[in-house]
Amino acid sequence: MVVWATALLALSLAGLFALLHTAYWLVSPPLSPQAQDYEALAKALPTSTDNAYRVEGLFAPAVLDPAQYGRCVHPFLLLRKDREAEKQAGVERCNQGKPPLSLPPALEQAQVSPGWTEREWLALAQAVPDQTLLARSKAIAAAGPRSFGYRLGDLSPPLRPLWTLNLWQSAHALALWRQGRTDDAVSAFESAIEDNLQSADDTLIEAMISVRGLSQNLLALQLALAPSPAPDEASAQRLRHLLDAVDSMPARGFKAMDAEWATYASTFDLEELREQLDRPGVLGWFTTTPLRLTHREDTLNRLAIQFGDARQRMLDASEGAPKAQSAPTPMPEASPCASLSKGTLVCYALLPNPFGRYFLDSAGFRADSYDPYGIRIADVRNLAAATRLSLEARRRGLAGQALATFVADAPPEMRDVFTRQPFAYNPQIRELTIVLRHKSPVLGEAGEYRLLL
């Protein structure tokens, strides 16, 4: 009797499930205008670019074309660790018997921080990279997006060597400044900072790498300005324009979120997933049925609401807004099932588009997870504001009490980005105190750091 009752209950639930979801498919909503907009932005992104292979081939032997070399080594670099011998043999074939280029060890091992002395910076400037590497890094910066695609399995090209070369440019610029070659130094700072800004709106990973690079650039520029006489007006104007350009980072980070949408949305490319999972027999039917019953439009519509919230929160954070001003947008009809420990599957079965909602809940997308990216952007803008303050103080030739008064009454663009208050200043040791809101590989742990003024 119990068996029959259980079977009847199971059949009733199955019938209810079929009825509910058949009705939903008949009246299900189309792709929302918001989701359509994000899809259009994602489709405009490049997929696999020559510039990505150019990055992969940065260390190609000097006589070889880096983009062609990158295409040669790319499949070998993707091999697992247990195929290391095959990987090395493939790379050697791509080298064609010629030695690959490399970075000077002192440059590769450098760990810049606000406490770096001028001697350390100038020593780094002596670690001159191969000129071919510098020329290739400039070609990469000028050649547009560098991407292998925007799906979860698509890896970014190795970008660390680029910001390492960019670090040397900062050290070199400081050395030129100390040699009295101000015009050349300003040009070198322009080149380094513009290279970082070029790629900041491509992907969020690259935006964060740009934040790291800009932090290095600005620390070197701040140190150059601190004990120096006033630069000439033309140089000061060029540097002001350069520092103002750092304030474009919130807009660039906002644009970089296009690639985040493309990555998340790619997980709901149901046709492609079905092809990947399709197998003959019962196993194939079992693995692909959830995908066949998933309503892609409803899933993306819900993702778009969360994504739009995340994007706005990141923009607000990058402009220094407190978290209270960027409260999350409540998601309509949010899934009540994700927090359940028992009965989760039954709960999802009673919702429209159950598999789509389950996939979305399982993807772990949270709007507030993007706040730290915005805070990092605001932190580098804070460093730019302090450097702008140093530049103006040098331009005016301020010292002593006049300098302290100027810091206390600084205009808005020379104040803390988060609080809109003047930076703390110690006139006895001529140091500005900057508060770092998020841990940085360059600026250190969250908390205070100090700059010579």
Assess whether pLDDT exceeds 70 at residue 57: yes
Whole-number CA gyration radius for the chain = 27
Sign of CA dihedral 275, 277, 280, 286: negative
- Rounded mean pLDDT, 44-50: 89
- Give pLDDT, residue 149: 86
Residues 309-336 have pLDDT tens digits of 999 999 999 999 876 454 555 444 456 6
- Rounded mean pLDDT, 106-122: 94
Sheet holding 424-426, edge to edge: 424-426, 431-436, 447-452
Burial class (CB in 10 A: 0-12, 13-18, 19+), 9: exposed
Kindly report the average pLDDT of the chain as a whole number.
86
- So where are the chain's domains? 51-256+372-452
Structure tokens at 400: 């002593």
Q: Is pLDDT larger for residue 95 or for residue 369?
A: 95
Residues 202-249 have pLDDT tens digits of 999 999 999 999 999 999 999 999 888 889 999 999 999 999 999 999
Residues 255-264 have pLDDT tens digits of 999 999 998 8
The CA distance from 437 to 449, in Å, is: 11
- Give pLDDT, residue 271: 59
- Rounded mean pLDDT, 349-376: 81
- Kindly indicate the confidence band of residue 23, based on its pLDDT and cuts at 50, 70 and 90: low
- Give pLDDT, residue 324: 44
| Nearest CA among 184, 222, 214, 173 for reference residue 197 | 214
Burial class (CB in 10 A: 0-12, 13-18, 19+), 142: exposed
- Kindly indicate the confidence band of residue 366, based on its pLDDT and cuts at 50, 70 and 90: confident
Assess whether pLDDT exceeds 50 at residue 282: no
Assess whether pLDDT exceeds 50 at residue 72: yes
